[in-house]
């Protein structure tokens, strides 16, 4: 009975803590459903006085464009994440083995790239003039295929796997490729899930690549398209405010404030549904990969 009474405050604490994280999400949804006039006069409210779907109508005014952006973002996020994690794992595993002769050289080389970069102009010239990736969907995938930080994390995690497993597999006649796929991969689910989640979030939220390299609207990512919609709404509102009253007429302003939150809901919704599947691996993979070695 004492244990049950002791557990009540702990449960209450975690319930309140959970509400602290859920509250902003509910506020974002509520504000996205609030009219621009109500936001200006009453501020942000958890329960809108008048529900208004104008912001969502603006976001989905061109359904084909939104669907294309979703398709591009989903393709880039899924394919890019799978390829990136796989390629980085292939590079991290040899670096985790002490018998690899070039281990220190390549580790330093990867670490050096984390400290220094060529900059925007050399990257743009390389990707567009030499690799011919301008206005190409693979610009979202190939240049970011290898991330030095992720390789270091995965290498450190692999170092925590007992060497005796690898040695016994060698004695049984397994080659390095078989050891990697049949022993290392099944034991490394936490770090793979962690790296996959971080890579997935990075690619899902990518808008900068579209800004620099993409000119075809059908290749815009979701984040960049939503940003363009918001900028256009703000531009129209600024033009209407600057026009004389007789020209502006009685037209209401576009819901720029509600539009920001509606875009947040549209953009983050899929990630909120995916995150719980990675959650149980996330903390373990990140902490073990970062602390050991």
Q: Average pLDDT across each block of 10 residues of the chain; the chain has 293 residues. List them in order.
A: 61 80 85 82 81 83 86 93 94 88 90 85 91 92 90 89 84 85 87 88 91 92 85 69 54 67 82 70 52 44
Q: What does the alpha-carbon distance between residue 216 and residue 252 come to, in Å, rounded to a whole number?
A: 32
Q: What does the alpha-carbon distance between residue 268 and residue 223 come to, in Å, rounded to a whole number?
A: 10
* pLDDT of 75: 95
Domain of 240, in residue numbers: 53-291
* pLDDT of 82: 94
| Single pTM value for the model | 0.79
**Radius of gyration, alpha carbons of the chain:** 25
Contact 96, 159 (CB under 8 A): yes
Contact 214, 228 (CB under 8 A): no
SS3 for 188?
A: coil
Q: How far is CA 240 from CA 52, 244, 247, in A?
A: 21, 8, 9
Residues 6+ apart with CB under 8 A from 213: 124, 127, 128, 133, 134, 135, 136, 139
* pLDDT of 140: 94
Q: What does the alpha-carbon distance between residue 285 and residue 195 come to, in Å, rounded to a whole number?
A: 8
SS3 for 54?
A: helix
- Count of domains forming the chain: 1
Q: Domain for residue 118, yes or no?
A: yes
- Name the phi and psi angles at 201, rounded to 5: -65, -40
Residue-wise over 111-141: b if at least 16 C-beta within 10 A, else e? Answer: eeeeeeeeeeeeeeeebbeeeebeebbebbb
Domain harbouring 105, CATH code: 1.10.3720.10
Q: Domain for residue 32, yes or no?
A: no
**Alpha-helix residue ranges (DSSP H) falling in the chain:** 2-32, 36-42, 54-59, 63-96, 103-115, 120-125, 148-159, 163-171, 176-179, 185-187, 189-204, 208-213, 222-242, 245-248, 256-291
Reading the block at residue 16, the tokens are: 């309140």
User: What DSSP state is assigned to residue 251?
Assistant: P
* pLDDT of 290: 45
* pLDDT of 239: 66
Q: Domain for residue 249, yes or no?
A: yes
Q: Domain for residue 194, yes or no?
A: yes
Q: Domain for residue 13, yes or no?
A: no
Q: Domain for residue 141, yes or no?
A: yes
Q: Domain for residue 4, yes or no?
A: no
Reading the block at residue 66, the tokens are: 């939104």
Q: Domain for residue 14, yes or no?
A: no
């Amino acid at each position: 009975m004492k244990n049950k009474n002791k557990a009540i405050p702990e449960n209450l604490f975690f319930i309140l803590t959970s509400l602290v994280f859920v509250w902003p999400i509910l506020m974002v949804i509520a504000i996205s459903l609030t009219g621009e006039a109500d936001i200006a006069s009453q501020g942000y409210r958890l329960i809108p006085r008048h529900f208004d779907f104008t912001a969502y109508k603006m976001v989905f005014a061109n359904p084909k464009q939104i669907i294309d952006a979703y398709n591009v973002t989903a393709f880039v996020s899924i394919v890019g994440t799978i390829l990136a994690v796989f390629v980085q794992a292939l590079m991290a595993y040899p670096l985790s083995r002490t018998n690899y002769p070039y281990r220190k050289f390549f580790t330093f080389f990867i670490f050096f790239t984390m400290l220094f970069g060529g900059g925007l102009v050399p990257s743009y010239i390389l990707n567009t003039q030499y690799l011919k990736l301008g206005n190409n969907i693979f610009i979202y995938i190939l240049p970011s295929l290898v991330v030095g930080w992720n390789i270091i994390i995965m290498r450190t995690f692999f170092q925590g796997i007992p060497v005796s497993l690898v040695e016994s597999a060698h004695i049984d006649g397994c080659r390095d490729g078989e050891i990697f796929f049949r022993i290392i991969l099944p034991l490394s689910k936490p770090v793979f899930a962690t790296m996959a989640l971080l890579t997935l979030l990075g690619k899902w939220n990518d808008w900068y690549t579209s800004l620099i390299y993409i000119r075809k609207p059908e290749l815009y990512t979701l984040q960049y398209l939503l940003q363009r919609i918001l900028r256009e709404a703000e531009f129209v509102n600024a033009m209407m405010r600057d026009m004389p009253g007789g020209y502006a007429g009685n037209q209401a302003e576009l819901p720029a404030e509600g539009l920001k939150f509606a875009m947040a809901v549209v953009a983050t919704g899929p990630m909120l549904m995916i995150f719980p599947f990675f959650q149980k691996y996330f903390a373990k993979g990140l902490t073990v990969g970062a602390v050991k070695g």
